Structure 1
Amino acid sequence: MAMNGHGPNGGAHLNRGLLNADEPDVMEDHASTSPDQALLNGHDDAESIDLNSGSSDDDDDEFVVPISDKFKAMINGGDSVASAASSTQRKNPYDNLRDIARHEETYETETENLALYQPELQRRPRVAQILSNLVRFNSNNDTPLNAESSMLALLRKQPIKMNTLVGVYLPTIQNILGVILFLRLTWIVGIAGVGQSLLIVLICTTTTMLTAISMSAIATNGVVPAGGAYFMISRALGPEFGGAVGILFYLGTAFASAMYTLGAIELLLTYIAPGMSAFGEIEPGTPSLLNNMRLYGTVLLCLMGFIVFVGVKYVNRFASFCLATVLLSILCIYIGYFASPTSRQPDVCIIDEALVRSSYDGNCTAADATLYPTWQNANSSYSGYVQAFPGLGSGVFQSNVGPHYLKGGESAPGQKGHDDVVVADITTSFTLLLAIFFPACTGIMAGSNRSGDLKDASRAIPTGTIAAIATTALIYFTSVLFLGGVVQGPLLRDKFGDSINGGLVIAELAWPHPIVILIGALLSTIGAGLQSLTGAPRLLQAIAQDNLLPFLSYFGKASASGEPTRALVLTLIISECGVLIASLDAVAPIITMFFLMCYGFVNLACSLQSLLRAPSWRPRFKYYHWSLSSLGLVLCVLLMFVSSWFYALAAIVLAAVVYYYIEFKGAAKEWGDGIRGLSMQAARFSLLRLEEAQPHTKNWRPQILTFVKLNDATLDVSEPRLLDLAGSLKNGKGLNMVASVLEGDLIERCSDRATGQVAIKAAMKKADIQGFAEVVVCPSLAQGMSFLVQSAGLGALKHNTVMLGWPEGWRERLEHAQAEAAGQSAEEAAASLRQVSVFMRVLLDAASNEHAIIVPKNLHMFPDPGVPETGTIDVWWIVHDGGMLLLLAFLLQQDVVWRKCRLRVFTVAENDDNSVQMQQDLQSFLYHLRIDADVKVVEMLDSDISAYTYERTAQMESRTQLMEDLNLSPKQRARVAEAVADRSRADAAHGAVRADRPLTDNVRRMNTSVKLNRIIQQHSHDARLILLNLPGAPKECADSYDAAMSYMEYVDVLTENLQRIIMIRGGGREVITIFS
């Protein structure tokens, strides 16, 4: 945004603030539309809306530049230009943003203490205003300033009471523990043995733990709204990957509801009420069991769908009850490990590792072994009845360590089974068991899905999720060990409990009675199924509302009550397909593929962002590394193919189809994703893919054009410290261009140009800057620099930030000129004026092109590269600049020189501001930005203007008069005029001379500089580096000596006696965001 109103997108009213401080513009009111509604209406997302969207649409007032007649006569050889015209109306570049987030906020433009920043306050709010809109929300009077403030306002408006335990830890445990624990863990231990079972648990829990670490980093890199894994992946990897993985995640959640439904029916028909069979006697693997599963599964699925349709509040109430029953059941199981039932402990009949079914073992005794002669093998060992749960000290652990994989129909490894013994219903292998068990470790996204309901999501999500995974892993590991040490091996392999009268093995083991576990397991599976049926439709609705897949738009609409009814119907249909499969062991591997794809892309997203190290990547969770995420990604891919290469290929093909469909047919989205960030990082390979439009806030990085001066004699870089500073910002991962201008003719100075480029490249290498060097030859220094500001770069690889040093010594030359002879005075004054004119021209051109500006002062006092500094970096945030000050301070902290310095952020409170509330708001804002800093609000109260202020103003006025009275030669006038001649001709139509402003305007601005300087010296006298808002330069500084020299004087006073200072002015857009 052209903050000074000079550029093609600026409004003329921007300059009136400095000239007419007592006549502030009042922005016209707009019909206000809630930004939150704008977000729901299909706009890209919250972070794509700027904080500066409240500026006036246009300005019809005439703009008159105050040009001194004496000054024009001086630079034009005595010919005064006196033409007049009115300014043209220009369209504000952020009109489209107001269509997204309109508000009725009018920035305060009349403030005595900040008169120097009056042009900025015409377009940008004071820090007190931006903090008030971002953090506090008054639903009766105020509309949030934009989408970011709207999101924070909604979070503050809603009651946030959930801590880590209630909001993350317990829900995650509930989602992880479920049907597999109760129905399949004993069977997996019996088949794979204790050793390989521990390996299966280790692989699965390691995969989910690494994924949780990656998820914690992403989830704490800003606010994560509803959408969970889909939101994180889509915003990190782009709409194509996000849509593809979102669809797979949705299908996995829908099939999970089918798995829980089948698990509940298996518990009901096999263990609780086998008499309910509608198709004859239930036998494992028989059509009667499958048909019963289909019939009752469909009925239960429809019942759960009706409950979800009636209202989510009933599901949430039932979830708490289910969680309590799950925890109680697990407690009873652990008691059973140590207190195996003796009075009711069942006995089982084992013949040569074959487990006799309970309906055939009536005479399985040593005295009358009627079963023994039925065996063909006369050498079979005969054990008779043995205890099913002999206990930890029985020695069965050794026999359960090794694997016992079976083929379908076998009663023992390599031994064909008979009707009277328990036989395997399917052929087992390590990979199959791995695929069946993995769903027992899913559900780790429960915490991230509740981020908006947590007191402190950035602490609760990592802590709660990792603790829940560690807890459930401990349960699984210890259960494997205890089951192997307590239960007979053949009984562990009895999947359906045929040897113990159709009982559930883990229920028979538990204390005090099996019914406790059966009821708990049944309620657990039904509750988990309800949760899946609740989450899946909302996930589908989120994908449909993003408009990634046009054919899904029908499912993005909610019912009158706000429920995703259409998406629920589709989810029930998909879940019914899983129910019709009628096999828990067949559905579990499908779910494994879907969730592994999702977890793999979460790891990919974290790994990619960690490697790119974009400025927006600032997770509060610090215990992550790209290598851990990469290992998690590799494990996910290996698990997919090890479990089932066929299902893995099918899932990948499905994801690829959705990916390319979105790429070619779907809606184009810009979410600040890592794929586009990667393109910027590897621009030489992807230049054509990069859009020339403004990048998303999360992909914004400082791409710096640094102006250096070449020594006239040696053509060496005369300001190496400026390059050292640019090197300190290299962690921004942006483009670096270093440029210089040689005055003269290109034909004559072609060799000098080449020599200068070599010198700049050498200086860049010494400063550890990777980038491009450019030297242009131009008749005018100002014209050459203007040309570079406008056209440097290629395509989307253009600079967005201009850095140049403060013109040191300009005031000293003027003061020296006052004490010398007239001839010397004229020469020195001309050099000083030319120096100032070129500097002002670059500032105005950069602002007109909506570039950020970095101006370091006292470069000779900056530290040597590689020498660490200790102390503080002080940021004086006076006017909201899109976050440029905060972002550059964060980037400087990443450099070895400033890494040990503590960041402090100061802001100014005036009379009407609540400084205590401002400090709390600023702390909250920085916390959401993931920037660690100490916060201080300094009160700047109205007071009488000091005598010193009047003295400095008088000195400034006297220097202006001196310059106007000097008799410059024609050659001197030409050298002065060349820096501003183009602008003078362009503005010749505006040559009407405005009456001089009252002296009070100069005094007020000087008063701002003096008071701020005094406050900064008081609080930051020992700071190692100071960052400060650079006041906006009025447009008339380009062709009015009075305005230019006054501006330089104000800024000089503002920074007086400050050793190391960097002045920064934002480019008019947001460069930092609270969102993930």
Structure 2
Amino acid sequence: MRKNFFESHYREKGKAYDNIDFPADRKYGQGSNIADVTSSFMLLLGIYFPSVTGIMAGSNRSGDLTNPQKSIPMGTILAITMTSLVYLSSPLLFAAICDGSVMRDKFGESYGGILLVAAFAWPHFWVILIGSCLSTIGAGLQSLTGAPRLLQAIAQDNVMPFLDVFKVITKRGEPLRAQLLCYGIAQLGILIASIDYLTPLITMFFLMCYGFVNLATMLNGFLKEPSWRPRFRFYHWFLSFVGLCLCIALMFISSWYYTIVAWALAFAIYKYIEFRGASKEWGDATRGLQMSTAKEAILKLGNKPIHTKNWRPQILVYLPLDENFQARHDRLLDLVYQLKAGHGLTLVASILEGDIIDRRNDMIAAKAHLSDLIQEHRIKGLAEVLVASTIDEGMKNMAQCAGLGNLRHNTLMVSYPEDWRVDCKSSGSKLSKFISTLRAAQACDIAMLVPKGIDSFPLSKGNQMIGNVDVWCIVHDGGLLLLTSYLLMRNRVWRKCHLRIFVVATEEDDIVNLKKDMTKFLYDLRINASVEVVAMSTADISAYVAQRTASIEQRRALLMQMKISTVEARCDPQLIVDQHRKPSSADINPADIVKSNCSIDSHKLLPAISATSTESSDQSPDHATNVTNTSSSDSASKEDTKPSNLKPDTESNDKPISNHSHHCTVSFATGSNVAVSESDKSTNPKENDANSELNRGINEFTFSPSNPLTKLVQKAAREAGSKEEHLLNKAHPGRITRTQRRLHCAVRLNELLRTHSSESDLVIVNMPGPSRTLGSEYYYMDYIETLTDGLPRILLVRGTGREVITAFSE
């Protein structure tokens, strides 16, 4: 036992297996037993393993079985039992009747050149020779009939398109072409002329077959798919996992280089099927694993806010379709592809007007067309079509319900309506649809990407742009401007462009230090760009001042909620701007005024607001405030604006404020409504008409948030019990007059944009938010048109104020 089990009997190539005690004797026809290959356990295992296969012969012909659900389990178990008993008993029986060196004589040189098993046969050695020959021919014929049919079935299922030529059968139902292919492969194996080199390769195929069967069983059993209902109950997924591990281990034990080649071939076939796409969906176990993994990942993400370091644009693209379900602005998809560096989830959606019951087939056809467009533009995203009563309702529903959990879409991309003035009076016009979309996105805290002149944007497969990409940071919106430009610059189309950052500051700001700090900030963000600071007056950026002021407290609260460290908070771009900005009247916090218990004298408050309104009337176009004083002098107005006019008086807080001056007219417009104090109405109808015309001129410039002073006057008027009167009808949609008061800031900004960026390939600029009040939609669009006039390719960006970019990656 010690000699047989603890001594190595493997020989290198050219060494003899001769037994020293019984040397070969030529007199009896014996020769030396020379090893023709270097033997080892791994090599012999690979050679011996194919002889114990064939346990799945019944499964391969399951189509011919009467009751495969019963026959396959019982037949496979019996086959495994019988082959295990026969083939495991053979080495023991041979070792009991002959010496080890004799069994290692491959060609029988030591005993006359005959088969060893035939030498012990009874009654004659020809019994073994004839039986071996018939068994070999039978196994070959079985393989020659089973393999071609299996190949023909694979080709017929269109799993791999290049195998279509082998799905043809003859009149008698024989797969002749597949038989010829299998015959050619068998001839190649015969031409090798060495079983020792061929059997390890055959072992790979058998082990891979058994391994994938165990893998499929393990996945279905572990995932507990509803469709997994096996008739055989005595199994567990862990046993299949052990079988898979054993198959992989045996593959590496028998031949590690054959194993690598076999797995590479299997992976190539899988990727080919995935790339070309099978014509039929068989519901494989890997799809169930993907679904289970996706579900667990979404549940683990939960509803907790995504940290700035993990934020990425999940783009919801609204792509309108015409009556033939053709995309009107398919270049939106090219722009989405150019933003693919964000690695977010993209959803290309469209909305059909009508009822889902009536337009179900149209919805399916439209969704199929969107899916084709997604594949054509190489976008990693999904398609969805919603049927709603109106486009406005559909966009509201889409903005609220698109996405799951933290995979909810945070960015909406729509094309700018170039012909919005056409039929803008109707409720279903492009103007109303666009404004409704902006308001829905604003209400759902979704950022906006609005390309203007989308037809002039470059194609994804077009030529590279080599000019400038200009980013105009009029107000910081959380870094979406910088992130969008960075993602575009990583695409092939924009990679050769030069990125320029224009920071808009007020005239009171420290421009030199602001430029220095912003350059350092971009360096910390690892964004290669040049910085330019453009100085403007506060009135010139009035549409953005209130937005910046209102978002400061929200951003500070967000930084505290996200537990940003002090060092990381210093990398906030808005903080950099605020450090170099001197306080102005536009930065007044209305809470500071309301919380101070002051007795407000109407004789002093209203003239104070009158003096302020001339400076801030252009700063808050959404809720304009107009105060005219016909008797007070300029000096008196200036004196009344001093803080000493606001005296604390707790007793007068609850008393209504009445206006005792008949020389002051207070009006404040909210969209199309203007409230006028009853006591201030002039008895002269002409004077009232003049005031109405003045109020109308102010109201036409209404679309940005109201300033604190306006809110204070509104509160004072409400406490005084004044009745609101509808003095202004909705703005006439066809009216395109542009007074200096209404569009001063847009004209001034447009002058700067055209001066610095008229020849740039792309201009990215902040988009002011739409008004929440009705009646100002036309003037908001008029403002955008004036702002972007003369710029052929521009991307309007509106963030939510949430930080989306940081200098820290870990």
Bucket of the pairwise TM-score, normalised by the shorter protein: 0.3 to 0.5
Q: TM-score, normalised by structure 2?
A: 0.39
Which structure would you say has the larger RCO, counting Cα contacts within 8 Å and 6 or more residues apart? Answer: 1
Task: Choose 1 or 2 for highest CA Rg.
Answer: 2
Q: Normalising by structure 1, what TM-score?
A: 0.30
